[in-house]
Structure 1
Amino acid sequence: MLQLSGLLPPIIALMCLAFLFNLVLRRFHASKYEQSVFGVLFGLIVILGMTNPLSLGDGLILDTRTPLIASAVVFVGPLAGIIAVLFGLVCRIIIGGAGVAPGVMGLFLAFGIACGWKRFIGPKVKYPILNDAFLGVALTTSVLAFFLLPFQMAIQLITDFTLTLLVANVLSMVAIGLVFRRELRFVEENRKLTVHAETDALTNLLNRRGLDAAIGMRKNDAQDGHALLYFDVDNFKHVNDTYGHGAGDAALAILAARIKDSIREDALFSRHGGDEFSIYAPQLAACDVQSFADRVRTAISDQAMAYDSISFDVSISIGAFWTTTEMAIEEMIEKADAQLMLAKQAGKNRAQIAYDAPRCVRAFA
């Protein structure tokens, strides 16, 4: 006889927490904290199920811990499963009663079955819903943990409740799978749209919107200072007029690739439009700005560019501003652009730098 009434509330609660799934995915998806955060989330739902179980008397309970542990493993990863198991262990031990031993064993069985399924069987099942349903069936073998009880009691429990657990496990895995995959698709589609909106199509660099977003997540280290390099291609109109706009686009793409290979990974390289670019360099000492700017400049001027069997030389002029002060990116760009004008007036293919005066004096003293 099916007895699902005590098993449904935590699953319904989990489905109602789809918005929380979305929130956690948006904040932690593909980060080093993803498995830990989801492990805690699934662990809390495990506790919800274990504190609202189908009671069999004398400390024996049936709940939805098995599919929840498995979901943490297959949808997120082993670490998430381990954390959820730890939550379940603590809760089950606190509940106590005759069912502690089989309850603990059931947690480990669910974790082991899910790991094995994810590694060996899941990748071979083509349809996600079918995959989740079959995993629910496999999880039902955790009823073997009842054999840690007296034999006759174990046989009676298996006879009375295996069908209930089978249906609950299958429904739970399918429901959680639908919710999780839907939210994951939503987050990934939003991320793709965000990347598209914040990336320059020609060079694959950040555009101005992307730069603003990335800068907003950075915090300046006042001890080292930070710099903004603003530059453009010398005589870029001549390149377009002489070799064609295809050559001009190729020059910009080659420029972006060369400079990207010559700067640190923590630098934010962006295209502002046309032939105008910037590089935001955090934690850069005053005495290193000139060499950094010259390295960027010579990455372009030291080697000719080629397009459609045509070879031509390109150079860039750079304006830079360095400071230890927290400053809006717009202000740093304005100050660097003023230096770029001076570099152009001084003959082009050079770097002109302005320093935060007090810091500059100390840095070069």
Structure 2
Amino acid sequence: MRVVLDTTSGDYLISVAPYMIVSFATPAVILIGTLRHRPPHLAGWILLVVAQVVYAAADAVTVADEFLSGEYLEPTPADLLYFAYYLLIAAAVLLFIRRRSPGWDLPSMIDALVVAVSAGLIVWVFLLQPLTGDSELPLGAKLTQTAYPVLDLMLLILAVRLAMGTGTRGPVLYLLLGSLVTMLSVDTVYLVQGIIDGAAVSEAYLDVVWMISLALLGLAALHPGVQHFDQRSNTAVPDASPIRLGVLTVAVLMAPGVQVVVWMLDWPLDIPLISGTCAVMFLLVMARMAGLVAAQRRAAVTDSLTGLHTRRHFTEALDLECRRAARTGHDVGLLMIDVDHFKRVNDSYGHPAGDRVLVEVARRLATATRAGAVVARYGGEEFILLAPQTGPADLRALAERLRTEIAGLPVDLGGNLISVTVSIGAAADPAPDPESLLRAADQALYAAKAAGRNRSVLATPITPQAA
């Protein structure tokens, strides 16, 4: 298809001048913001600069082609540059996602796939199918016009993944997402209008919206928040917030919604496509629900600060181990561990510093214990350790190893190095009663504190309390 455009006059260059100024200014603005604020990881922002340079070059080629030839025929040389731009900006967003999210953020990936499947159905039914079904278009034009919604869909998936993943919230994230969403929206309008009109689209209002998208991207790079934008988050699993659940609900309902719209338009209804989409949606939602249930179970047995087990989980594990020991007659060892003078840390350095001490003590306890042991935060600055099949001699050696491990290196409190020690009460007995074992370890801990702290004390053989 060849469409003649009225682009050979000087008025055309004047009309596109504002857009071209914004297009060429955007990579310079991103580079200025990057150099000024010096984010710790430059790769993503440099990729954005390169992407916008390629985008500006593509715009220049398009304007030159239209002005010199007065014609518009796809594919054009500018299309290759636009395709490269999509790949570069996708790589930049992917870098941001990987920097911000700890490990493999499966919940956010599932959420993004739910939205992507829904969007993919809409793109196919209302964009790709009409484009590929137009027999008057040459094959090159069909492939070119089909590639744009596919690339837009790729960017949409990454944008949703960025929005739903973990990481800091703030102006930079919202400006970047606003730029991507605006660009995807105006691209969609451009494609739909081209399908409806059956010709190339040249509308001034579309240029204005594209300029808004570019301006939002430049503002994101200029904001001081770029210094913290791609910092790794401490949140392992994103919240199932009302907004997130609302987005997923709309996405899941989109498949039957598309079916209703197609029926109302009296278009041919593709039953296998709609049914397959609904089945994929159902499986993704079930996977997401399974993840939420697993996360809730982990939260119920995991201390939110230290990552150790909770007191509730420990109590259940101790009761189970004592019942097993009653059948086999093996020893059950128990260590009760208390951080010495913890109140002084809070009073001198503040509660956040006290939290860092607890986290570090928990880490050293977890790494120094053998497989099969259960380590838990018992309450406040107190920890507890269950050592199955461990007699008094081995338990005393374990207590001393843990004590020296914790006292061996100071804890860094943001520039202040402080020495941290613990007192440990140990108790071991074959086939013990849980309450008797806990009482003996607690009494041994009290004796360790009374003897001057930073030591371990092994309880005397346990005598069951008379009923």
TM-score for the superposition, normalised by structure 1: 0.48
Higher gyration radius (CA): 2
TM-score for the superposition, normalised by structure 2: 0.38
